[in-house]
Amino acid sequence: MTEPKTNTELTHPELAAIEVDGTERSDVLMKGALAAGAVFGLGAIGPFVRKAMAANGSKGDIEILNYALTLEYLESAFYAEALKKAGLSGDLKQLVTTISTDEDAHVKALTQTIKDLGGKPVKAPRVEFPYSDTAGFTALAETIENVGVSAYNGAAPMISSKDVLEAAGSIVQVEARHAAAIALQNGNQPAPDAFDKPMTEAQVLKAVQPFLVS
Domain ranges of the chain: 14-211
- CATH class, domain 14-211, is mainly alpha
Q: Which pLDDT belongs to residue 81? A: 95
Strand partners, 127: 212
Q: Which pLDDT belongs to residue 121? A: 96
Q: Which pLDDT belongs to residue 43? A: 38
Claim: this prediction has a pTM higher than 0.95: no
CA-to-CA separations, 88 to 95, 105, 134, in angstroms, rounded: 10, 22, 7
Q: If the chain, 214 residues long, is cut into consecutive pieces of 10 residues, what is the mean pLDDT of each piece?
A: 44 36 41 41 42 55 92 97 89 95 95 89 95 94 96 92 84 94 94 88 94 86
**45 exposed, middle or buried (CB, 10 Å; 0-12, 13-18, 19+)?**
buried
